Structures are given as C-alpha cells and as structure tokens.
Amino acid sequence: MTLDELIERQESERERQRKLKRRILCCTAAGCMSCGAESVRKAVAAEIQAEGKEAEMEVCGTGCMGLCSRGPLVRTSDDGALYGNVDAEDAAALVSEAPAAYARLGVKRIDTSAPFFTKQKKIVLAHSGEVDPERLNDYIAAGGYQALGRALAEMTPEEVIAEIRKSGLRGRGGAGYPTALKWELVAKQSATPKYVVCNADEGDPGAFMDRSILEGDPHLVLEGMAIAGYAVGAQQGYIYVRGEYALAIQRLQAAIRQAERERLLGSRVFDESFQFRIDLRIGAGAFVCGEETALIASIEGRRGQPRQRPPYPPESGLWGQPTLINNVETFANVAPILLNGGEWFASIGSGASKGTKVFALAGKIANTGLIEVPMGIPLREIIFDIGGGVPGGGGFKAAQTGGPSGGCIPAEYLDTPVDYESLAAIGSIMGSGGLIVMDQASSMVDVARFFMEFCMDESCGKCIPCRAGTVQMHDILTRILQGEGAPDDIEMLERLCVVLRETSLCGLGQTAPNPVLSTLKYFRHEYEQLVQPKPAAAGGES
C-alpha cells in the first residue's frame, strides 16, 4: 500500500461507517469477556440479522472501554450512549430504534459527563473502545499507519528522533528514561543488524495497562515499533509478551498478519525501501524477564537471568547486537506524537513528565478499571473523582503504586502530583501504572509481606543479596505478623533493606525493599504494635 492508497482507504472506510445508522460497539477486552461480553455480541449480531438491518447496523468488538467494574460495556455510535452490565437480553433494545427500547436500556446507561470520563485525557487509549482491534480498516479509518507513512516519505530518521526529543516522552515501563536518548544511542551504533524489542512482560501484580493496550489497539503498538525501527535503523522487531495474555497474543498475531498483507510491515513497507518484520516471543512466566537483560536472555531461549550492565542493550543486546527496548505504552505514544507534533505532546503534563499515563485502578475503589490521565494530576483526583472513592465506609488508608518495586502512599500525601519526580520524592515510584487502593482494614505489614513473598518467589537466584535477602526479609515479616517478632526485628529489616538495595545485581533485588521501606516510613506504628504485643491482641491486623 502507498501513502495515497492509505488515505483513500481511510476515506472510504469512514464513508462506509458514516452511512451506517448505528454501530454497536461491544467491549471485548478480557474483563468484559469474562462477564459475558461474547454472548452480548453474538445476541446483537443475531438480532441485526433477524431484523434484516445488516445494511444499516453493525456490531463490533472493541478494546477496553475503561470502566471494568460495570462490564460488559456497550456503546452505540449514533447517540454516543454507553451502557453497563449489559446482557444478551438487551440485544433487541440495542438494535431497536423505538423509544420503548430506551426505557429498558435507560437504567443501564452510564453518565459519561461524570468525572470518571471528563477528567481523563486519552492519547494511548484514544482508539481503545472505538475501533475493532481485529479489523485493520477500523484502525486505518482512525488515522492509523499515517504516522509511519509520513515518517518514511517525509522525514529522515534523525528528524523522527528530533520530534520524539521535542515531545519529552519518557519510558512508561517505570524508570522514566528519556525515550529519544535511548533511540539516539541505538541509532548511532554502526553494528548491524539492530533490533527493536517491545517489552510486554507486564508482571507487576495489579497492573493491566499493557495488556489492555495490546488487546484493544494492537496496530498502534506495531506502528510505533516500525517507526522506531526506521529511526534507529533496525529491520527486525520482537514483542516479548506474557504467556498468560492469551487474548493479547491472539490479537497481535492477527494484527501482524494483516499489516504484512497490506505491506504496512514486512519487506518494502509503503513501497519504500524500508523493511521491518515483527515476531512474537511468548514469555513463560518469570517476573524477572521484565528486566531488560533477562528479557534478552529469554528471547535467546535461555533462563531469564539478568547480567551485569554495562554494556547496556543499546550497545550490546540481543545476540550481542544493538537493541532498543521500550515498553508497550511508550511505543503506543509514538504514532500520536508524529501525527500531532512533539510540541503538542509536550504541552500536556507537567514539569519533566510530559504527556499522559495509563493507570490500572484496582483494590478498594468504586470504579475499578483502566484510565488515562495527564501527568501531574493530583493523586486525590485519581482516587476520589475518577475512581469514585473508597466504597464500604472503610475509608482510604494508602495507595500502592509501582508494584513490588514501589511504595505505599498514605493519606497525607494525597495531593502529590502524579509525575516521576514527585512520586520518587515520597518513596514510591510511577512504575508501570498499577494503582491499588487499600482501606483501613488492610494491614500494611501484611501488604509488605505480600510483596516480599512475591519478590522471594520471583528472584532468579543469580545474586546472593536478592536470593537470600528476600527470604530473610520474608521470614522476619511473617514472624512479626504472627506476633512472634523481636524488638530488634525492625532494625534488622532496615539493615537488610540497605543491603538489598545497594548490592543486588538487577532492579528486582534493588527495589524489592521499597514496599517495606515505605510502609516502615508511614505506618511504623503497625510494625511496632506487632512486635510488642499488648496483652489484649495485636492491633492493626484485620
């Protein structure tokens, strides 16, 4: 396909959609799927057929619509209405144009002027819930692959990197390394071949952003990777995706096939001399493979154990070749930046944190689901306005960000703006975007023990501080929780935290103490109550 043909295809697909009286969009992301979305979609399709309305209505499955707690979700295109808790029996009403239908559906209609919707800003998730991830034409109608086409036709690789630099985009996997710097490092290597790797080994417990992006808009990630390939001079890309994400894998495979068929990937992309292939590598269940050198080992078919850095992957990565590794959400930001310009992107967000961030809201919060907010938004707005607060009257106690590498943020820091630096300053991290809310009933020592158990299980065993240290810390935390802790246990925990942080080989061990450190900092009294049990009972535990 050429760029002109792509634009023509966009026009004709838009025209086709405009002529339809109604498109009925059913969320078929994993969350809605598990509460019956597929039966809703089938029932609507059957109803359209039974009514003989195939020419004027169509039903399609889409990616995540965000409000997972109200699934299955359905949206109708003509009036933009969003309905929650839809079941197969609503099919007739969804297809009907009679006012009576609205009476049935009215109670299921979700108010889209609520803060949950209005306080969000969607760049990465702009198509999620709007396009059918299994239809390439849907993505093309939304402007898909134009950023790649334009980059190949009108920009040099240096200009692409300059645009990314202007945008201020930073890695969305957690560490926040400037994306343009990484691209430059790979681009200036003279060794070939070079590789582009998409890290989709989303392993933080409580995080499902990457999975939702891959399920809802796989082409957006493919396009971002191809642009990166052009910018750094690579011809081969790999997506390393968690084996647990069956639906994402299936949709990625389909998307790669479609794009190759239309010459949007493969050899002679857009009939230009640029070639770029993407292959999937399925992870086999090891959290440490999110670490870049471990991920490389795993793609090479070895045990996923990290190695000493430097050399960093941009110099020596996959099979010793220059390798660019970015996270799913980072790649998903690339095409919108090229389409709208780096300045546009840099105008969103705050300080050194530009653009938006996708968060997965979970735990004791009313609106669990997937959200995208401008960086710098206060945590309070995310939890209380967008999230709808803490249900059940338990009251807010802490928000956990950054998974096992992050920390717990107590109520007094609720007004902290959500950006890389502010979160780091209060002992947590942005992380990849998992945000779990805990209410007063949660024991923070138990939360710390939970994360330590996770790190203990996932430690690859290569370096001693992490392999042995996580076990010792887990034992102490368990002992404290059982009311058998000694008064000097807290001090011992703190010492172990320092040892792990300073001497572990990779990020897993270095950050494993964070949940303990942050709970010790803000909820020390819970530890102290447990190590010196009053005759009555150990408080703080529920």
Site map (CB under 8 A) of another protein, residues 292-321, x = contact: ------xxxxxxxx----------------
The residue count for binding another protein (CB under 8 A) is: 56
In whole angstroms, the minimum distance from the beta carbon of 444 to another protein comes to 12
Of 73-81, 364-372, 385-393, 478-486: span binding another protein (CB under 8 A)? 364-372
Taking CB under 8 A as the rule, does residue 205 contact another protein? yes
Closest to 62 in 3D by CA, of 75, 49, 71: 75
Of 231, 383, 418, 436, the one binding another protein (CB under 8 A) is: 436
Coil, strand or helix at 232: helix
The CA distance from 100 to 145, in Å, is 42
Of 112, 156, 192, 250, the one binding another protein (CB under 8 A) is: 250
Nearer to another protein, 151 or 466 (CB): 466
Nearer to another protein, 10 or 401 (CB): 401
Omega into 322 within 30° of 0, i.e. cis?
Answer: no
The CA distance from 368 to 343, in Å, is 32
Nearer to another protein, 285 or 539 (CB): 285
Question: Which DSSP string do the residues of 337-353 spell out, in sequence order?
Answer: HHHH-HHHHHTSEETTE
CB 515 within 8 A of CB 448: yes
Of 50, 246, 352, 425, the one binding another protein (CB under 8 A) is: 246
Q: Give, rounded to a whole angstrom, the gap between the first and last alpha carbons of the chain.
A: 61
In whole angstroms, the minimum distance from the beta carbon of 53 to another protein comes to 32
The CA distance from 533 to 392, in Å, is 29
Nearer to another protein, 25 or 360 (CB): 360
Of 13-21, 48-56, 207-215, 477-485: span binding another protein (CB under 8 A)? 207-215
The CA distance from 298 to 306, in Å, is 10
CB 1 within 8 A of CB 148: no
In whole angstroms, the minimum distance from the beta carbon of 204 to another protein comes to 7
Taking CB under 8 A as the rule, does residue 71 contact another protein? yes
Contacts with another protein in 14-43 (CB under 8 A)?
30-31, 33-35
In whole angstroms, the minimum distance from the beta carbon of 344 to another protein comes to 30
- Which run of H or of E encompasses 83? strand 82-83
Of 244, 381, 475, 528, the one binding another protein (CB under 8 A) is: 244
The CA distance from 374 to 415, in Å, is 15
Nearer to another protein, 137 or 428 (CB): 428
Question: Which DSSP string do the residues of 95-160 spell out, in sequence order?
Answer: H--SHHHHHHHHTTEE-TTSHHHHT---STTSSTTTS-TT-HHHHHHTTTTHHHHHHHHH--HHHH
Of 86, 460, 497, 508, the one binding another protein (CB under 8 A) is: 460
Contacts of 256 (CB under 8 A, 6+ apart): 222, 265, 278, 279, 280
Phi, psi angles (nearest 5°) of residue 379: -55, -35
Of 257-265, 277-285, 391-399, 481-489: span binding another protein (CB under 8 A)? 277-285
Local structure of residue 417 (DSSP, 8 states): B
Output the six-digit token pair for 186: 């790979």
Nearer to another protein, 149 or 322 (CB): 322
Look at the block and give the residue holding tokens 């105008």: 347
CA distances from 62 to 119, 131, 168 (A): 22, 6, 30
Of 27, 40, 255, 438, the one binding another protein (CB under 8 A) is: 438
CB 472 within 8 A of CB 496: yes
Of 127, 219, 281, 397, the one binding another protein (CB under 8 A) is: 281
Contacts with another protein in 224-243 (CB under 8 A)?
243
Contacts with another protein in 369-428 (CB under 8 A)?
369, 400, 403
Taking CB under 8 A as the rule, does residue 69 contact another protein? yes
Of 53-61, 78-86, 123-131, 245-253: span binding another protein (CB under 8 A)? 245-253
Of 428, 442, 504, 514, the one binding another protein (CB under 8 A) is: 442
The residues of the shown chain that bind another protein, judged by CB under 8 A, are 30-31, 33-35, 68-69, 71, 202-208, 211-212, 243-246, 249-250, 281-287, 298-305, 360, 362-364, 368-369, 400, 403, 434, 436, 438, 442, 447, 450-451, 454, 458, 460
